[in-house]
Copies of this chain bind each other. A is one copy, B any other.
Amino acid sequence: MQIGELAKRTGCESETIRYYEREGLLPAPARSSSGYRRYEQPHLEQLAFILHCRSLGMPLADIRLLAGFHQQPAAEPCDRVNALIDQQISRVHSQIEALQKLEIQLQQLRARCDSPHTLADCGILKTLDDAATGEACACHDAS
């Protein structure tokens, strides 16, 4: 199949497929006489593997490693696979924690301006300005 059909079947844009090839995540496929890429079933599976990992937020470098484990002797222990997943879990977990703190801070800032004001009276701008002059701010000090 051509790149466009692979794209349609996987829901991944052609340009992204070419990008994965450049990045060494997808093997370069055979070419037609006019230079068009010709993909077979294994390419589709490899791409689906990549997209599935991406949907789990894995970085491309990790996916490259994961994909590499297929080429290794099957008797090798899989602890490095587990380590990659564990890393990803802890990355995601700490992002969640950081964002939750952020949300609280933003809510506190937002509460400074609950009714319509002018710019001069806006509690939000005032709070941001106060923070800029070194004073305590609702968003960061209330924690």
Contact = CB atoms under 8 A, between A and B. Distances in A.
A53 interface: yes
Nearest to A53: B128
Contacts of A32: none
Centre residue among A66, A99, A118 by max chain B CB count within 10 A: A99
Contact of A77 (B86, B95, B118, B140): B118
Interface size range on A against B = 35 or more
Interface string A123-137: 011001101111001
Interface string A61-73: 0000010011011
A142 interface: no
Contacts of A134: 48
User: How many copies of this chain are found per oligomer?
Assistant: 2
A52 B113 contact: no
A12 to B, nearest CB: 13
A86 to B, nearest CB: 7
Contact of A85 (B69, B109, B118, B140): B109
Given A45-B132, A132-B49, A116 B85 contact: no
A143 interface: no
